[in-house]
């Protein structure tokens, strides 16, 4: 691969990640619900999940997903269902968030769970796997050989960019969460808003996608 190919893929990745999608909305919802640290851990898990998708594409699974409506639909629905589940949980426990914020106690979830939740969202994100299937082959050099390895190297750029940009969203959203916590009337909105965002995102993913 030439430096130009790597730079072109990097710029395209920035453009794709900058458009708010499942990862961004999940990160914002998680920051509003459980705070900055857990949101950042979710971002890390999300980036790892995205790279797993890249590995799958590189070894051929991406081709199957591209050609099979059934496989694509399963991935999409699993991710959508998990987001709805997380949203419902956030709404159910919103009063705990309120109580913790009122008492000045950080609302937390275990670090492993934050990483796991982010990973599941990342590895089932249909936007990312479609991007990899469509874009990665376009930036490889078949003449140089070892195309799967080229795809893995290229794809490593994507989660790094996602980690940086999604972390910015997490920091911004967690700042808004702090603003909410300063007024008792805003506290109820924190957990419920994050939960509703995740439920809405899951429902949107479930009803949109490929038309074939």
In a domain, 211, yes or no: no
In a domain, 168, yes or no: yes
Say if residues 85 and 156 touch (Cβ distance below 8 Å): no
User: Which string of DSSP letters, residue by residue, matches 117-129?
Assistant: HHHHHHHT-HHHH
> C-alpha dihedral over 74, 79, 84, 87, to 10 degrees?
170
In a domain, 105, yes or no: yes
73-128 pLDDT, tens digit per residue, is 776 677 678 778 877 877 776 665 555 555 444 456 788 888 998 998 888 887 78
Considering the entire predicted model, what is its pTM? 0.68
- Please indicate whether residue 48 or residue 182 has the higher confidence score (pLDDT): 48
SS3 65: helix
Residue 71 is encoded by which pair of tokens?
């496989």
Of 41-45, 56-60, 86-90, 92-96, highest mean pLDDT:
41-45
Among residues of the chain, what percentage have pLDDT more than 90? 8
In a domain, 78, yes or no: yes
Task: Compute how many other C-beta atoms are within 10 angstroms of the C-beta atom of residue 67.
Answer: 11
In a domain, 93, yes or no: yes
In a domain, 212, yes or no: no
Q: How many CA atoms lie within 13 A of 198 on its CB side?
A: 28
**Average pLDDT score over the chain:** 75
In a domain, 123, yes or no: yes
How far apart are alpha carbons 81 and 177 in whole angstroms?
A: 25
Number of domains in the chain: 1
How far apart are alpha carbons 116 and 158 in whole angstroms?
A: 19
Grade residue 41 by pLDDT with cuts at 50, 70 and 90: very high
Say if residues 50 and 122 touch (Cβ distance below 8 Å): yes
Residue 188 is encoded by which pair of tokens?
């109820």
Domain that holds residue 147: 3-206
pLDDT the model gives residue 82: 73
pLDDT (average), residues 11-25: 75
pLDDT the model gives residue 174: 77
Handedness of CA 91, 96, 101, 107 (dihedral sign): negative
pLDDT the model gives residue 105: 45
In a domain, 117, yes or no: yes
């Amino acid at each position: 691969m030439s430096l130009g190919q790597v730079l072109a893929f990097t710029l395209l990745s920035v453009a794709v990640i900058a458009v708010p999608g499942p990862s961004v909305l999940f990160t914002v919802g998680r920051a509003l619900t459980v705070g900055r640290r857990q949101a950042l851990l979710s971002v890390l898990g999300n980036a790892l999940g995205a790279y797993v998708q890249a590995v799958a594409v590189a070894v051929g699974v991406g081709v199957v997903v591209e050609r099979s409506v059934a496989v694509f639909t399963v991935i999409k629905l699993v991710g959508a269902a998990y987001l709805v589940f997380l949203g419902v949980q956030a709404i159910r426990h919103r009063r705990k968030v309120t109580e913790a914020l009122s008492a000045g106690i950080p609302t937390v979830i275990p670090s492993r769970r934050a990483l796991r939740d982010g990973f599941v969202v990342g590895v089932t994100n249909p936007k990312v796997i479609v991007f990899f299937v469509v874009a990665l082959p376009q930036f490889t050099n078949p003449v140089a050989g070892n195309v799967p390895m080229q795809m893995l190297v290229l794809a490593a750029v994507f989660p790094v960019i996602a980690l940086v940009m999604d972390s910015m969203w997490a920091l911004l959203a967690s700042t808004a969460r702090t603003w909410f916590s300063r007024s008792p009337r805003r506290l109820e909105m924190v957990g419920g808003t994050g939960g509703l965002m995740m439920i809405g995102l899951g429902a949107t993913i479930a009803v949109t996608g490929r038309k074939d």
